[in-house]
Structures are given as structure tokens and as C-alpha cells.
Amino acid sequence: MAKFIKHLVWRLEVLAYDIVRLALSPLSLDKISALFGRIFQWIGPKTSKHHIAKTGMRLAFPDADDVQIEAWLSESWNRMGRTFGEFPFLGRIRVFDENSRVEVVGLERLEQLKKDGQAAVLISGHFANWEIMAAVFSQAKLPVHVTYRPTNNPYFDKRIRQQRARYGIELMVAKSGAKGAKELIHALRNGRSIALLNDQKFNEGIEIPFFGVGAMTAPGPTRLAIKTGAPLVPMSVVRTQGANFRVTVHAPIQLDKTDDRNADIRAGVIKVTTFVEDYIRQNPTDWFWVHRRWPKDLYRQAKVDKKT
């Protein structure tokens, strides 16, 4: 009976999602984006996630005053809402059509990979609407395996996969430890690139300074690049205005290759982390601040300090 109820709830969640998506479908992407931006800007500060975002901003920008932090938080909630509101409708975006919403800088790097049949490890973070980056390399016809974390609701997970397929993502690999890693290595060795987001906390990773504060970070992308010899290519996306974006394919990160593999991996992860930091400094309201990136104790201490 419990199993039946659980699956019923899961199906009802997807039904509710589909009803909202259907109701919004007559609207333009600009209007949907603006609507969800305003909703999140209103609701976000009332949630527990607001404390996580504020604590993160204070850790990253210790010299910013309260007025600046509050302004960033408000805009961050707006942009986060836009991202979530846009997701069900990203199938409308055709990156390379005339008058596209997406400007692509460094496309020649993807084209060269495709021409050479060279696999790459594409890395980025939860910047602006990060799904736009996947739309770029997918619609550029570069074969890429995209890693993702399946949702607990299998029916909703299926819906997400279907919607990602609408804007070009078909080769998806669940984050599943050794099994997923083997699948990614196999892809790279057979000339197919892989894409990973490398900016969230990973408890089984290695501690790397993130804005000067130790944070557990996944070494996987760097390890895969060193193991297979594939270039480590960072990508970024910024929200230029409303539901418009600029995606940049950056030059590969140069990795050390010495007799000390662990030291080489650590050095590579530091370079990736520096790339993420640089992006956040330039676009402080575009990053996904509601993720608890640093140790939990720092967030608890921030609550204690606030009370005292």
C-alpha cells in the first residue's frame, strides 16, 4: 500500500507539472521567464534557502556591505526563477537560427573537436541557465555524453529526459559512481566528448580552497582528462538580458602531467575551481547560490552570529 501511495504521489507531481506547463505554453519565453523571476524574487527570501545563499555570498565576498549583498540576493532570486521557469520551454530555442537568443563565442573550438574527431571533457558550473550550454554543443552536432543526477521521482525523471531531448540532449549518463565513470571513459576513448558541472560540493572529493575557504570538490573531470588525454575545455554562460544568453567556449585548461598523478589531479582541480571563481566574481548574481557549497558548520555558525 505504501508503495502504491508513493507512486501515486509521484504521478500527481508530474501531472501538476504538466498542467502548469500547458497553462503557460501560450506565453512567449520572455513572459514566462519574467513571470517566474518575479515569483522567485518574492518567495525566495522567505525560504530557508535564503540563509544558504546569503552565507555563501558573505563567504565569497567578505568586503561587500549589507546593501550590496541584499541587492545581489534579490537579483539572484530573480535569475534563478527565470532559469526554472524557462526549463520546460527550452525546446523552443534554436541556437543557430537567425535572430537566436543565444550568442556563441568560441564556437570554432567545438567545430575543431568535431572535425578532428577529438573527444573533450567539457566542464562548467551552475551559471545563469546552465542548460543553454548543453543546447549549444548538442545543436552544434558534437557527440556529447551529459552527466546528470536522476530525481527521486522516476516519472518526473523521464519527463526531464524527454524535455532535454527536445533541445538536443540525448546521450545522458546518470551519476552512479564506478559504473558511470566507466561509461564516461568508454565514451572518451571512442571519440565522444563528455560534459560535467564541477562547482558543487562533493563529499568524497578533495578539499580545495574556494574563495579562500576549504570546500570538498569533485576531482572526476580532471582525473578523466588526465587518464584519457582528452582536453579539459571550460564553458560558461551569462544571461545578457531577459531570456537571452551568451555562451563562451574557452581555451582548454592546461593540465600537468608528471610522475605524481595525485598532485597533477589536485593542480587541475584548483585550475577548474579558479575558473568557477573568476566567473562568479564577474557575474555574482548568475551563480546557483542556494547550494550549500562549503562545510555545514559555516552555515550553522552564520545563524548563531546572526542571533547574537
Q: How far is CA 277 from CA 88, 183, 287, in A?
A: 29, 29, 10
What is the Cα 142 distance to its own chain's centre?
Answer: 19
User: Is the model's pLDDT at 172 over the cut of 70?
Assistant: no
Number of domains in the chain: 1
SS3 state at 102: strand
CA distance 187 to 120: 10
What does the DSSP 8-state code read for residue 92? G
The 10s digit of each residue's pLDDT in 95-128 is 999 999 999 999 999 999 999 999 999 999 999 9
Instruction: At 253, give phi and psi (nearest 5°).
Output: -80, 125
Q: Whole-model pTM?
A: 0.91
Helices 29-43 & 66-86, crossing angle to 10 degrees?
140
SS3 state at 136: helix
What is the Cα 147 distance to its own chain's centre?
Answer: 11
CA distance 78 to 297: 28
Residues 154, 82, 276, 46, CA torsion sign: negative
CATH of residue 163: 3.40.1130
Q: How far does the chain reach from its first CA to its final CA, in angstroms? A: 48
Residue 182's pLDDT is: 85
CA distance 171 to 231: 20
CA distance 197 to 105: 19
- For the record, the C-alpha cell of 8 comes out as 501515486
- What band does 221 get if pLDDT is binned at 50, 70 and 90? very high
Q: How far is CA 118 from CA 130, 178, 251, 268, in A?
A: 23, 24, 15, 20
Arithmetic mean of pLDDT over the chain: 92
User: Is the model's pLDDT at 303 over the cut of 60?
Assistant: yes
What does the DSSP 8-state code read for residue 253? B
Share of the chain above pLDDT 70, in %: 95
- For the record, the C-alpha cell of 242 comes out as 531577459
Q: What integer is the mean pLDDT of 51-75?
A: 97
How is the beta sheet containing 193-197 ordered, strand by strand? Answer: 102-105, 244-249, 232-241, 121-124, 193-197, 144-148, 172-174
CA angle 124, 66, 76 (to 5 degrees): 35
User: Is the model's pLDDT at 305 over the cut of 80?
Assistant: no
Instruction: Judge whether 54 and 47 are in contact, CB under 8 Å.
Output: no
Show Cβ contacts of residue 175 under 8 Å, excluding neighbours closer than 6 positions: 147, 148, 149
- What band does 273 get if pLDDT is binned at 50, 70 and 90? very high
- What band does 151 get if pLDDT is binned at 50, 70 and 90? confident
Range of the domain at 51: 2-284+291-307
The 10s digit of each residue's pLDDT in 6-24 is 888 889 998 999 999 999 9
- What band does 165 get if pLDDT is binned at 50, 70 and 90? confident
Instruction: Judge whether 292 and 202 are in contact, CB under 8 Å.
Output: no
Residue 171's pLDDT is: 60
